[in-house]
Amino acid sequence: MTTAAPTVEAPRPARWPVFGAVSLAALVATQVFSFLTSPPDQNMGQLEKILYVHVPAAWVMFVCFAIVLVYSLRFLWKGREDDDLLAAAAAEVGAIFNGLTLVLGMIWGKPAWGVWWVWDARLTSTLVLFLVFVGYLALRAFVEDPQRRGQWSAAVGILGALNVPIVWMSVTWWRTLHQMPSSMRSMAKIYWVGMFANFGAFLLVMAYFIRRRYDAACTVRAAEHASQAAALGGLD
Amino acid sequence: MSKRNWAILVAVVLVATFGWLLYGGLDKNVVFFLTPKELLAKGDAGYDVPVRLGGLVKPGTVQWDEKTLHLQFEVTDDTSTVLVHETGAPPQMFQPGMGVVIEGKYGRDGVFEATNLMVKHSNEYHPPKPGEKPEEMYKTLIKGSTP
């Protein structure tokens, strides 16, 4: 081959399991912390506890899709396969947290609002975001050629990520059943502390998931490169 | 960056711009519920059609009959009020002063007959004031006409 395709290297063994265990421990610790420190809300009572999973899940989903945006753009710019693989890993983890946000929101909605689901702008746009990234993942399974797959994925990934500000602003732009974002004034400090602590732990878990999915994808691609090279006339 | 990638990026930017313009056009039309003022402003067109009505439960107007499950209250947006009637138990968090969204029809008799009652929670989260216990708060949730 005259033009060597940019190859992906198999990941080197690292201490990611340790990082994973620490992240999980941090998550348990922040959950216990927020459960023990937060008083019941004056209207919701103990229902406010779901703040510490629903809101961090939503924020982490936004972070994931921001990563998708950055690495999709970088892939289109530089054409490096590992950028595409990282974007895909972030999309996958983002879709998980997106689904989690929806489910936790529904579990909250039933006792708080009286309904599991309504088609207001916030819920609908969040569902659209979820479907776009499920579509993104399905698309990847259908396109065989890695460069093609990267290009198509990047296009869908960027469009999907542009939906994020719409989801975020939906409660401000439109009249919805979902409430507006809370502010430092509208929410007691102790709830904020619990929410941000859990957001930090969720971020660690997110980083761990993305890293492991990325490593797995790199391993698969490196094996594919190796078998191709072998088929084309032996390993160098 | 290859030509093809440029083409993809340009296409993405175009679709995104178009999408944002569409969303921008939706701005005032996407309304999950009408306020009492808006419902009353519809005049004749507001009667007997399925709509969602949203506002605050006016304190002092809640009448709740545990035996017959008749719930009656006024919904207000500070300028207008609409009388609402529902048969069935209200959601846990229903109480005077709380935000609600009601699905149903506004009858010509001036009563909004609800088929579904939802609580619209605000973005306020505060622990109860000193002296209030959460168990007591639950008790006061559906107390009736006294706020």
Residue A35 lies in a domain: no
Domain tally for chain B? Answer: 2
d(CA A102, CA A213): 23
Q: In terms of domains, do B26 and B43 share one?
A: no
For residue B142, the chain A residue with the least C-alpha distance is: A43
Residue B51 lies in a domain: yes
Nearest to A186 among B27, B90, B124 (CB): B124
Residue B129 lies in a domain: no
Cα separations in angstroms, B135 against A43, A45, B131, B139: 11, 8, 12, 7
**Closest of A49, A170, A113, A180 to residue B122, by C-alpha:** A180
Per-residue pLDDT tens over the stretch B93-104: 888 889 999 999
ipTM of the complex: 0.77
- The tokens describing A157, both together, are 């990934």
Angle ∠(A171,B79,B140) on CA atoms, nearest 5: 70
Whether residue B128 and residue A190 make contact (CB cut-off 8 A), yes or no, is no
Q: Given CA atoms B53, B54, B59, B65 in this order, what sign does their dihedral have?
A: positive
Residues B47 and B108: beta-carbon distance below 8 Å: yes
> What is the amino acid identity at position A76?
L
Q: Give the domain CATH number at B97.
A: 2.40.50.140
> What is the amino acid identity at position B121?
H
Residue A60 lies in a domain: yes
| Mean pLDDT of each 10-residue bin along chain A, 236 residues long | 60 85 97 92 87 96 98 94 96 98 96 91 93 93 90 94 92 89 88 95 97 94 88 69
Residue B128 lies in a domain: no
Kind and range of the H or E run holding A194: helix A189-231
d(CA A114, CA A104): 15
Sort strands B50-57 and B63-65 into parallel, antiparallel or unpaired. unpaired
Q: What is the pLDDT of residue A234?
A: 61
Task: Report the mean per-residue pLDDT for chain B.
Answer: 82
Nearest to A41 among B30, B92, B125 (CB): B125
DSSP B56: E
DSSP count for chain A of H helices, then E strands: 6, 0
Nearest to B93 among A44, A77, A78 (CB): A44
Interface test with A, best of B123, B136, B137, B138 (most A CBs within 10 A): B123
Residue A27 lies in a domain: no
Query: A80: domain range?
Result: 53-231
Per the listing, tokens 């396109």 go with A143
> What is the amino acid identity at position A139?
L
Q: What is the pLDDT of residue A10?
A: 78
Residue B23 lies in a domain: yes
Residue A10 lies in a domain: no
Q: In terms of domains, do B25 and B87 share one?
A: no
Q: In terms of domains, do B69 and B83 share one?
A: yes
For residue A147, the chain B residue with the least C-alpha distance is: B5
Q: How many CA atoms lie within 13 A of B94 on its CB side?
A: 28
From chain A, which residues contact B within 8 Å (Cβ)? 39-46, 48, 51, 73, 76-79, 111-115, 118, 120-121, 151, 154-155, 158-159, 162, 166, 173-177, 179-183, 186-188, 190-191
Q: What is the pLDDT of residue B25?
A: 62
Q: In terms of domains, do B49 and B119 share one?
A: yes
Residue B57 lies in a domain: yes
Whether residue A190 and residue B126 make contact (CB cut-off 8 A), yes or no, is no
Reduced to 3 states (helix: H, G, I; strand: E, B; else coil), residue B115 is strand
Q: What is the pLDDT of residue B103?
A: 94
Q: In terms of domains, do B69 and B5 share one?
A: no
d(CA A17, CA A83): 23
- The tokens describing B89, both together, are 């138990």
Domain tally for chain A? Answer: 1
Query: B18: domain range?
Result: 1-30
Residue A191 lies in a domain: yes
Residue A216 lies in a domain: yes
Return the higher-pLDDT residue of B131 and B47: B47
Q: In terms of domains, do B7 and B71 share one?
A: no
Interface test with B, best of A80, A175, A182 (most B CBs within 10 A): A175
Q: Given CA atoms A124, A125, A127, A128 in this order, what sign does their dihedral have?
A: positive
- What pTM was computed for the model? 0.86
Q: What is the pLDDT of residue B140?
A: 43
Per-residue pLDDT tens over the stretch A55-114: 999 999 999 999 999 999 999 999 899 999 999 999 999 999 999 999 999 999 999 999
Q: What is the 3 state secondary structure string of B9-49?
A: HHHHHHHHHHHHHHHHHHCCCCECCECHHHHHHCHHHHECC
- The tokens describing A43, both together, are 């209207």
Residue B146 lies in a domain: no
Return the higher-pLDDT residue of A99 and B4: A99
Q: What is the pLDDT of residue B139?
A: 45
Whether residue B16 and residue A48 make contact (CB cut-off 8 A), yes or no, is no
Per-residue pLDDT tens over the stretch B10-42: 888 888 877 777 766 665 557 889 999 999 998
Residue A14 lies in a domain: no
In the predicted structure, residue B82 carries a pLDDT above the cut 70: yes
